[in-house]
Amino acid sequence: MVKLLNLDDEGDPTSFAPPYAGIHELKIGDGLIPTAQGENKGVFKVTAYYPVVSEIATLLDLTSLDQLSQTCKQIRANLLQHKATLITRTLRCRNDGQVRIPCARDLVNPCQRCGVIVCRNCIQKPMANALQGRHRRLCKTCLKAPLERHLITVEAVTDEIKTPDEERTPVTFYHGPCTCVHQMWFCDTCSRHQRSEDTKYIRGWNWRRRYSHTGVGIGEGEQGVPCGRESRCLAVREVEVEIDADQFQTPFDFPSSEKRSWSNTSYQTQEIEGIGGVVKKKVKKRVNIGHVVKEYEDEREGGEYLLREKTYQNRSWCAHCDRVIPSRKDQALESHESLDRVVSSSGSSALSIG
């Protein structure tokens, strides 16, 4: 941070006021020069143009648009010129005009999981145990990695035309930590999927505890519980799994009108006779899965699973919003680093003045 001094005004005592933080305080002192009245007019003057505010209104609901108009008098005056038109262009729910219950316009946000725009009338109200069931255990590599590794993801963005892998452009996205404790905003489809996935995950832990004495316990080969990040695990591995051909598009299914049939078996596809003489086809596929997580002794002896994650002793992964849940240690470290940044910036400002 740089301190600008007005050398022409020698009688202004505030020009040389100390900008460093006060003792036992985290706020900056009163030594900052007040911003000139005409400096912000050039920035806010853009809101006087209708094409600009019209595009901004498409990304805001009525509540956010009202809060934007209360930032300053100039923005409020510019928005009031197009009030009737901007209200009709605000963010709308995807079910607007399609359901019997009218959709709200004052509180519209994207789903925290899939990103679909839904209003407060169309979201699924969370259950009482929804927060407890969202935790997924991380593997040893993901637990020891810095927290920033879980906040940054690199994805390949392409257009609608199929692009080879070597020509795809990697784009880095920053995702903050999980905020489901403060607000859960999920559409109806994601809410139903979350409840079934949470139940299946807990039943998997219970099944392994019941049959661990038969040699299929956690951590034995590839039979353990995978990392909560799944295919994006920092210690991801490639394994071969069998998938039902009815749920997987085999290379023998063609979209043309002429139906082609295929029988017999091969290494990739095998026919298995099921209950009632029904013949099913199993397809072998190589997929990326997360590394096996650790099981503690107290959990193996009958204790509650995921207790360390639910009490924030260990870092975990949220299966609802697909983001990291920091532990108490991560939160304390983040607070300490934020304090160091404030102190260092204040110290550098004091040195620049001196």
- Identify which of 60, 55, 51 has the alpha carbon closest to the alpha carbon of residue 105: 60
Q: Encode pLDDT of 246-279 as tens digits.
A: 655 544 443 443 444 455 556 667 777 777 777 7
What's the pLDDT score for residue 26? 42
What's the pLDDT score for residue 194? 87
Q: What is the DSSP letter of 274?
A: -
Higher pLDDT, residue 110 or 1? 110
State yes or no: pLDDT of 127 exceeds 90. no
Q: Encode pLDDT of 139-180 as tens digits.
A: 999 999 999 889 887 765 544 444 455 555 666 777 889 988
- Collapse the DSSP code of 263 into the 3-class scheme (helix H, G, I; strand E, B; otherwise coil) and give the result: coil
* Least confident window among 67-76, 125-134, 211-220: 211-220
Query: Which alpha helices (DSSP H) does the chain contain, by range?
Result: 41-44, 50-57, 62-69, 73-80, 83-88, 140-144, 148-151, 188-210, 297-300, 307-310, 328-353
What's the pLDDT score for residue 231? 87
User: Model-level pTM?
Assistant: 0.69
Max mean pLDDT among 149-158, 189-198, 207-216 falls in 189-198
**The dihedral formed by the CA atoms of 173, 176, 180 and 184, expressed in degrees to the nearest 10:** -50
Q: How large is the average pLDDT for residues 5-26?
A: 47
How many beta carbons lie within 10 A of that of residue 335, not counting itself? Answer: 10
Six-digit token string for 118:
């839904």
